[in-house]
Amino acid sequence: MWNIDLTLVDVARVSRDAYAEAFLRATGRRLVALPQLAGASDSEIFFESLALNEGSPEQDLRQSADPDLLARYSTELAAAFELLATRGRVLPGAADALAAVARVPGAIQTVLTGTIRQNAASKLRAFGLDRYLDLEIGGFGSEVYPKGTLILRSLDLAKEKYGVALLPADVVYVADSIRDVVAAKVARVRCVGVASGRSSSAVLRDAGADPVLDDLTRTSAVVAAVTR
């Protein structure tokens, strides 16, 4: 399982602009402050943003329950699809790492991400990375469950689709934030940390990631970490 943002791609500039436009259209308020993003789901970010940007508690609760909020975000990012590849980038080694792991016998690759499903697909498709991943069995920020639960749910989806009973011991989550490491612990799967985001190698290692890679540029090291 792969995290997307700051593990495989960096499209923060485009995502923030789309998010700000969606927030304005949904709430009538300009987005001035953003909460902590690392490892958070889009639904969590929206809820916390409501509280940070000059709304009343009653109004925030009513708007946070509106399913149209995330739909607007998806619409805005879809409209900016061409900008993902021009203003964003694939992180070094990511495409080669996905291709190499895809060649491992018996490997099934999917994602576990805080990004809502439609936006996750857009971010991956913009760089041609979606061909290596089965998004039908992934976990996304549009779900109401925490990431640890989504990992276990993905195992059930994989069993239904492929007819293979997978255990947590069969899973490795490749990700860049402490919250991702915690989610892996909750599901009792191993987490390979990648220090390509906002968490340093030391911080990821202390949180329990094993092993920790500086980035994905050494393809053989990535495959060895995943298949260990």
Which CA distances in Å does 19 have to 66, 111, 116, 128?
A: 16, 21, 12, 23
Query: Can you give the pLDDT at residue 28?
Result: 74
Within its chain, how far is the Cα of 203 from the centroid? 19
Tens-place pLDDT, residues 52-95: 666 544 454 444 445 567 777 788 888 889 999 999 999 999 99
Neighbour tally for 170: CB within 10 Å: 14
CA pair distance 228, 216, nearest whole angstrom: 16
Residue with more model confidence, 163 or 29:
163
Query: Does 197 lie in the same domain as 148?
Result: yes
Tens-place pLDDT, residues 164-191: 999 999 999 999 999 999 999 999 999 9
Query: Does 153 lie in the same domain as 132?
Result: yes
Query: Does 194 lie in the same domain as 124?
Result: yes
Q: Which residues does residue 2 pair with via DSSP β-bridges, in sequence order?
A: 111, 174
Of 49, 84, 119, the residue at which a domain comes to its end is 84
Query: Does 222 lie in the same domain as 148?
Result: yes
Tens-place pLDDT, residues 125-138: 999 999 999 999 99
Global pTM?
0.86
Is residue 118 scored above 60 in pLDDT?
Answer: yes
Query: Can you give the pLDDT at residue 141?
Result: 83
Query: Does 201 lie in the same domain as 146?
Result: yes
Tens-place pLDDT, residues 29-44: 776 666 565 656 666 6
190 inside domain: yes
Domain housing 76: 12-84
CA pair distance 167, 155, nearest whole angstrom: 7
Is the CB of residue 62 less than 8 Å from the CB of residue 134?
A: no
Query: Does 99 lie in the same domain as 129?
Result: yes
Query: Does 26 lie in the same domain as 128?
Result: no
- Residue 168: which residues within 8 A CB-CB, separation 6 or more? 151, 152, 155, 187, 188, 189
Which CA distances in Å does 67 have to 62, 142, 183?
A: 11, 10, 25
